[in-house]
Amino acid sequence: MKSLSIHPVSNVAERRAFVSFPWKVYRGDPNWVPPLISERMAFTDSTQHPFFEHAEVEFFLARRGEEIVGTIAAFINHRHNAFHNERIGFFGFFEVLDDPEAARALLQTAEDWVRQRGYAAIRGPAQYSTNEECGLLVDGFDDPPRIMMTYNPPRYVDYIESQGYRKAMDLHAYALDTDIYAGGSRFPPKLIRVVEKIKAKGEIHIRKVDMKHFDEEIARVEEIYNQSWARNWGFVPMTDKEFAKIGEELHAILDPDLTLVAEVDGKPIGVSITLPDVNQPLRLAYPRPETPEWWTLAKLIWHWKVRRRVTWARVLILGVLPQYRARGIDALFYYETARAALKKGIQHAEMSWILENNDAISRPIRVMGGQIYKTYRFYEKTL
């Protein structure tokens, strides 16, 4: 076996090799959903992604001879540390062939990088925070990931835990078959009672997002998002630029019928964003580093818009301002979203991710019949 070496990514060509490496790891895996190369290049570009404005980031490549066998990133999220009053670093983009030595060396490299900067612990995987893709899949490997959720081989669990990492927090994904509500007559009676009570009061109004005034809507959603999640474990308030960036990325796939705003006297007090699972047509289009992206996008549109191969949706965001909670607004969001999803032929919904200790959110999901079908994990190690 050739000797192993690990070096920081130093140029655009190496960064492209970094983002292209997963195709080698997941070759032949029917559940992996390959990303668009252009999206991953922009995501890792310090001149394009606003995360880099408040973070230190280093990407690493592991090689045996000239062959790339693994990748990892280490970073310090100064915004996270200031918000939580912590001194912690993070790792992410952890991908490796079936090579335990390379896995150990990659994790050690990230740990050393964080330690050298004077930080007391390392947590991950994340890329880059709880606002983006995060967590290691530890249960539910027999199904493709929904949009903006992670996926990895089962062996990564052992690679990480054998290096002394321990669970910091589990994130749950709940699944629900929307067709059990066919016709709208089989919603749980408790949910119907809550919805009817709210509607009878007439105080809360639910409307669709106004796509013609999208920038203004993004600003309203940002305020609700940052206030609603402020006390959640691991949450980091997004900057205006970060929220605008995510809004720009989601604009093309948002469905107004599934993107709802709750208002009281014309003031937005809650938001629910459910995304069609574009991972389904994307997996069929199957982007490849060597394939022109225009051709991949053409296939994506064909499978999505023409063949209508989207049968899943993911409830990405559901938040209500603290002073308006416990009024059943979440139930109203779920009810209206389910009705809209049924009309579009969406048969399954994923509610994700939900912190394992967030019973206020998971309880109504269970009432509707949702069950945990995947678990993702944040790990942490003291340095």
pLDDT tens for 123-136 read 999 999 999 999 99
Indicate if 126 and 216 belong to the same structural domain. no
Calpha distance 375→323 (Å, rounded): 30
pLDDT at position 185: 53
For 19-39, the pLDDT digits (tens) are 999 999 999 999 999 999 999
Indicate if 187 and 276 belong to the same structural domain. yes
Indicate if 267 and 238 belong to the same structural domain. yes
* One-letter identity of residue 218: I
Where does a domain end: 144, 173, 202?
173
Indicate if 166 and 185 belong to the same structural domain. no
Indicate if 181 and 130 belong to the same structural domain. no
At 272, the pLDDT band (50, 70, 90 cuts) reads very high
* One-letter identity of residue 72: I
Calpha distance 258→341 (Å, rounded): 7
pLDDT at position 187: 67
- Give the β-pairing of 55-64 and 67-77: antiparallel
170 or 342, greater pLDDT? 170
- Tell me, yes or no, whether 383 lies in a domain: no
Q: Do residues 276 and 315 lie in contact, with contact meaning Cβ atoms separated by under 8 Å?
A: no
Indicate if 138 and 189 belong to the same structural domain. no
42 has pLDDT over 70? yes
Where does a domain end: 138, 173, 208?
173
Q: Do residues 38 and 293 lie in contact, with contact meaning Cβ atoms separated by under 8 Å?
A: yes
pLDDT at position 347: 87
Euclidean distance between the first and the last CA atom of the chain, given in angstroms as a whole number: 30
Kindly state the helix (H) or strand (E) to which residue 354 belongs, with its residue range: strand 348-355
The whole-chain average pLDDT of the chain stands at 93
Residue 188 falls in which region: left (phi positive, over 0), alpha (psi -120 to 50) or beta: beta
Mean pLDDT is lowest, of 16-30, 153-167, 336-350, 369-383, for: 336-350
- Tell me, yes or no, whether 84 lies in a domain: yes
CATH number of the domain that residue 222 is part of: 3.40.630.30
Tokens (6 digits) for 205: 């109004």
Enumerate residues 6+ apart whose C-beta is below 8 A from 303. 280, 281, 284, 285, 309
Domain count within the chain: 2
183 has pLDDT over 60? no
- Tell me, yes or no, whether 287 lies in a domain: yes
369 closest CA partner among 175, 179, 228, 201: 175
Query: Number of helices and strands (H, E) in the chain?
Result: 13, 15
DSSP 87-155: -EEEEEEEEE-S-HHHHHHHHHHHHHHHHHTT-SEEEE-EESSTTSEE-EEEE-TTSPPPTT-----TH
At 325, the pLDDT band (50, 70, 90 cuts) reads confident
Where does a domain end: 129, 150, 173?
173
At 45, the pLDDT band (50, 70, 90 cuts) reads very high
**Tokens 């965001």 — which residue?**
317
At 339, the pLDDT band (50, 70, 90 cuts) reads confident
Indicate if 21 and 150 belong to the same structural domain. yes
pLDDT at position 360: 84
Indicate if 238 and 329 belong to the same structural domain. yes
Tokens (6 digits) for 253: 């796939």
Give percent of the chain with pLDDT exceeding 90.
75
Average pLDDT over residues 267-292: 95
Residue 278 dihedral angles phi and psi, to the nearest 5° = -65, -15
181 has pLDDT over 60? no
Tokens (6 digits) for 294: 């225009």
- Tell me, yes or no, whether 304 lies in a domain: yes
For 280-304, the pLDDT digits (tens) are 999 999 999 999 999 999 999 999 9
328 or 51, greater pLDDT? 51
pLDDT at position 343: 85
- Tell me, yes or no, whether 381 lies in a domain: no
Mean pLDDT is lowest, of 11-15, 104-108, 345-349, for: 345-349
Calpha distance 17→63 (Å, rounded): 12
- Give the β-pairing of 88-96 and 121-124: parallel
Range of the domain at 88: 4-173
Helices (H), 229-312: 240-250, 279-285, 293-301
At 182, the pLDDT band (50, 70, 90 cuts) reads low
pLDDT at position 367: 81
Enumerate residues 6+ apart whose C-beta is below 8 A from 196. none
Give percent of the chain with pLDDT exceeding 70.
98
186 has pLDDT over 70? no
Tokens (6 digits) for 280: 């389904």
